[in-house]
């Protein structure tokens, strides 16, 4: 019998990493965790009893429980030295609160093991490794009926058992290194009051995403796959029954669409249709993805560089290959920590300012699923107020991005879609706020993507493939994927956004690899495609007013200072003056304190001084500067506007953390993205 040993890694809900193999046969069940919701007037507290966990083994197995807290167990590990070895972890879970708890799901119960490594070794392990999870007397399978599992009442205890076995029938050991992934184990409870579900929508436990808030006639949707390259968008159950609409713990983000008033079907037909009804793509005019309110913090593994949390796969995060950003979903609180921590416990949480739009706490934001598409307005070149006829503007895949507009034109286009074209899309013009994306809103997407809830947490991708794949369409067609991250310079076949062909070797899916989740529920075109203007602008040093642009010729269209030929001049649009909108619509960078510092202060290009002399929290500018080798070029007096994501022709510099300066004028290679705040 070959005595070489191989490491097996099973990914659980709170762990992102795989890999880091040595010669040895090991099972790493990264963690268990408990989630729950409850009404605020009662005490909700379901925990693992950490002091009562039992570990048993057979044969020569080596079993380790890992790091344990009240609601999570991370790094459970098993080393098998020969066939017949097994490890069993018996973990009591107790309701120490006052609200009865009902087990409604064990995420990952129907997951399949996935294998990377020598094919012969893979076959050997498929036949000889078993992994079993039991809750009380119930073995958890894809067919488990959770309605039959008894309620966990106050002070009651139940037992979770995990058993890993290398079957005794095996006559040999693997000869190489093998990675096995695909299992997560999160125990999900809901509160029960008087035997009935509480119906609570106000979570008091961290990490419960705020449910999406639809605007007007927006329709919740999910994608129903037919085969690897085709499928249909269907109406989702707004109550998210059976996680049909979203499940952020599995990187499944909530999607919604708007539809035309009259098409193959009417808007009223879709509004009144039951869940599961197909939404014809020809009837869809805009597509959106929900980013729930959250706080974040970024870990330093060496106490000096804050490149994110390490994992089994990425033990030494770096600027070129960063680690996980810690994210926790929150209700309506605002945290103002430094967003940096060392050690093993996340601290100094900070809430992204995108969720406090206009000084009001928001439960989340909707972000355009693709770059803005469609035709220009009334056949004219620009939009100069909120009354433009923009009914041809869309947000759809497989369409050329809308470009050649100044920042002001993009801004007024977005506002016109809600204020004077609401009937075209079904928006409510009296609630919510549809506008051009800002830097902090862009950052809210980027950080969630780099968390366990985004592509970084998607176990279909490993190593450099955790980075969002680039759209390398030279014609700026939305939703396309090169099937590789931006480090790859070759322009290969462009895959459609819904091409789910598996590329193998930790590369995941061909098309969805270009989304922020690594699956079809994410946001596309944030790496490559067309450059995207964002509402982020430099302030003039004398009065902190936002600057207009580079010169009298190249500017945003808004009234303001331009720096032309070594001097500051006033620009006023003609024939119609365009004043800057309310300051809630843009991020303003007050860096310079004098004419000299505005022109020569190196802080203008220093990521740690880019925001008013300090760090730009949550904007994917300062804290994540240079991650994945994305471009890090900041605004200046000559180019006071921000643009993001790079374009299709760029290679290493392209990416969701990339930034660059520009004048604010209209260019054929610069587009925009929309955001809708409830």
Degrees, nearest 5: CA angle 668-671-674: 165
Residue 70 lies in a domain: yes
Token pair belonging to 518? 């690594």
The pairing of strands 186-193 and 25-37 is parallel
User: Residue 7 has what pLDDT?
Assistant: 39
Helices (runs of H) and strands (runs of E) counted in the chain: 6, 36
User: Residue 31 has what pLDDT?
Assistant: 42
Residue 175: which pLDDT band, with cuts at 50, 70 and 90?
A: low
* Percent of residues, the chain, with pLDDT higher than 90: 55
- How far is it, in rounded angstroms, from Cα 117 to Cα 176? 7
Residue 278 has what DSSP assignment?
A: B
User: Residue 372 has what pLDDT?
Assistant: 97
Q: What is the mean pLDDT of residues 555-580?
A: 93
Q: Does the structure show a pLDDT above 80 at 392?
A: yes
Q: Does the structure show a pLDDT above 60 at 179?
A: no
Residue 570 lies in a domain: yes
Q: Is the dihedral of CA 629, 403, 662, 536 positive or negative?
A: negative
Q: What is the mean pLDDT of residues 94-108?
A: 76
DSSP characters over 448-466: HHTSTTSGGG-TTB-GGGG
- How far is it, in rounded angstroms, from Cα 603 to Cα 620? 17
Q: What is the mean pLDDT of residues 561-579?
A: 92
Q: Are 371 and 530 in contact (CB under 8 A)?
A: yes
Residue 29: which pLDDT band, with cuts at 50, 70 and 90?
A: very low
Residue 117 lies in a domain: yes
Q: Does the structure show a pLDDT above 70 at 271?
A: yes
Domain's final residue, options 176, 197, 218:
197
The H or E element spanning position 485 is none
Q: Does the structure show a pLDDT above 60 at 5?
A: no
Q: What is the mean pLDDT of residues 103-110?
A: 63
Greater confidence, 448 or 170?
Answer: 448
Residue 486 lies in a domain: no
Burial class (CB in 10 A: 0-12, 13-18, 19+), 375: middle
Q: Does the structure show a pLDDT above 70 at 19?
A: no
Q: What is the mean pLDDT of residues 345-364?
A: 94
Distance of alpha carbon 105 from the chain centroid: 23
Q: What is the mean pLDDT of residues 458-479?
A: 94
Of 100-104, 146-150, 415-419, 631-635, highest mean pLDDT: 415-419
Q: Does the structure show a pLDDT above 90 at 609?
A: no
User: Residue 107 has what pLDDT?
Assistant: 65
Q: Is the backbone peptide bond immediately before 575 cis, with ω within 30 degrees of 0?
A: yes
Residue 210 lies in a domain: no
Q: For 227-266, how does the pLDDT look when each residue is reduced to its tens digit (9 = 90+)?
A: 999 999 999 999 888 888 999 999 999 999 999 999 999 9
User: Residue 485 has what pLDDT?
Assistant: 87
How many other β-carbons are positioned within 10 Å of the β-carbon of residue 260? 19
Token pair belonging to 103? 């087990």
Residue 198: which pLDDT band, with cuts at 50, 70 and 90?
A: very low
Greater confidence, 573 or 164?
Answer: 573
User: Residue 131 has what pLDDT?
Assistant: 78
SS3 242: helix
- How far is it, in rounded angstroms, from Cα 10 to Cα 179? 8
User: Residue 9 has what pLDDT?
Assistant: 36
- How far is it, in rounded angstroms, from Cα 278 to Cα 235? 6
* Percent of residues, the chain, with pLDDT higher than 70: 80
Residue 349 lies in a domain: no
Residue 423, C-beta contacts closer than 8 angstroms, at least 6 positions apart: 261
User: Residue 595 has what pLDDT?
Assistant: 60
Provide the residue range defining the domain that includes 19. Answer: 7-197
The mean predicted confidence, pLDDT, of the chain is 83
User: Residue 195 has what pLDDT?
Assistant: 36
Greater confidence, 670 or 607?
Answer: 670
pTM: 0.73
- How far is it, in rounded angstroms, from Cα 196 to Cα 494? 50
Residue 75 lies in a domain: yes
Q: How many domains does the chain have?
A: 2
- How far is it, in rounded angstroms, from Cα 75 to Cα 32? 9
Residue 38: which pLDDT band, with cuts at 50, 70 and 90?
A: very low
Q: What is the mean pLDDT of residues 494-514?
A: 95
């Amino acid at each position: 019998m070959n005595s070489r040993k191989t490491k097996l890694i099973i990914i659980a809900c709170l762990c992102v990493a795989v890999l880091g193999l040595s010669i040895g046969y090991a099972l790493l069940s990264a963690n268990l965790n408990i989630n729950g919701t409850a009404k605020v007037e009662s005490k909700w507290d379901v925990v693992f009893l950490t002091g009562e966990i039992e570990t048993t083994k057979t044969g020569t197995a080596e079993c380790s429980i890992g790091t344990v807290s009240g609601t999570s167990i991370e790094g459970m590990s098993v080393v098998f030295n020969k066939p017949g070895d097994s490890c069993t972890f018996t973990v009591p879970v107790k309701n120490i609160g006052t609200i009865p708890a009902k087990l409604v799901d064990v995420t990952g119960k129907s997951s399949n093991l996935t294998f990377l490594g020598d094919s012969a070794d893979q076959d050997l392990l498929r036949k000889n490794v078993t992994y079993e999870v039991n809750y009380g007397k119930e073995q958890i399978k894809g067919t488990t009926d959770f309605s039959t599992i008894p309620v966990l009442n106050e002070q009651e205890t139940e037992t979770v058992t995990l058993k890993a076995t290398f079957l005794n029938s095996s006559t040999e050991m693997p000869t190489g290194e093998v990675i096995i992934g695909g299992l997560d184990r999160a125990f999900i409870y809901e509160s029960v009051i008087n035997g009935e579900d509480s119906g609570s929508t106000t979570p008091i436990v961290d990490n419960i995403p705020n449910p999406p808030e639809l605007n007007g006639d927006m329709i919740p949707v999910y994608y129903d796959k037919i085969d690897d390259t085709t499928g249909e968008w269907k109406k989702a159950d707004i109550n998210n029954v059976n996680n049909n609409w979203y499940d952020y713990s599995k990187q499944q983000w909530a999607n919604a669409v708007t539809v035309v008033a009259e098409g193959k079907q009417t808007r009223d037909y879709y509004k009144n249709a039951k869940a599961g009804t197909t939404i014809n793509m020809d009837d869809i005019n805009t597509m959106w993805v929900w980013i729930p309110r959250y706080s974040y913090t970024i870990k330093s593994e060496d106490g000096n560089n804050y490149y994110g949390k390490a994992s089994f796969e990425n033990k030494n995060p770096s600027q070129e290959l960063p680690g996980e950003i810690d994210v926790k979903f929150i209700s309506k609180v605002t945290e103002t920590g430094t967003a940096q921590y060392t050690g093993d416990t996340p601290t100094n949480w900070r809430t992204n300012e995108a969720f406090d739009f206009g000084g009001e706490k928001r439960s989340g934001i909707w972000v355009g699923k693709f770059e803005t598409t469609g035709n220009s307005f009334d056949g004219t070149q620009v939009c100069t107020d909120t009354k433009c006829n923009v009914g041809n503007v869309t947000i759809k895949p497989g369409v050329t991005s809308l470009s050649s507009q100044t920042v002001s034109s993009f801004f007024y286009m977005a506002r016109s879609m809600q204020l004077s074209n609401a009937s075209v899309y079904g928006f409510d013009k009296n609630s919510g706020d549809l506008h051009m994306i800002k830097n902090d809103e862009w950052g809210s997407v980027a950080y969630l993507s780099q968390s366990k809830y985004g592509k970084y947490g998607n176990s279909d991708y490993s190593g450099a493939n955790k980075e969002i794949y680039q759209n390398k369409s030279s014609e700026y067609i939305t939703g396309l994927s090169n099937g590789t991250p931006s480090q790859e310079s070759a322009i290969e076949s462009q895959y459609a956004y819904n091409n789910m062909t598996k590329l193998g070797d930790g590369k995941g899916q061909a098309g969805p690899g270009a989304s922020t989740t690594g699956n079809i529920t994410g946001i596309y075109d944030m790496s490559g495609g067309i450059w995207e203007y964002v509402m982020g602008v430099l302030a003039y040093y004398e009065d902190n007013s936002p600057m207009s642009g580079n010169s009298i010729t190249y500017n945003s269209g808004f009234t303001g200072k331009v720096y032309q030929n070594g001097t500051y001049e006033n620009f006023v649009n003609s024939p119609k003056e365009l004043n800057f909108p309310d300051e809630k619509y843009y991020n303003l960078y007050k860096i310079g304190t004098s004419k000299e510092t505005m022109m020569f202060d190196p802080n203008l290009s220093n990521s740690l001084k880019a925001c008013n002399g300090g760090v730009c929290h949550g904007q994917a500018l300062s804290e994540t500067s240079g991650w994945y080798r994305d471009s890090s070029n900041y605004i200046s007096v000559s180019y006071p506007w921000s643009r993001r994501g790079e374009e299709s022709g760029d290679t290493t510099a392209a990416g969701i953390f990339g930034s660059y300066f520009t004048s604010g004028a209209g260019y054929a290679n610069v587009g925009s993205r929309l955001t809708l705040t409830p």
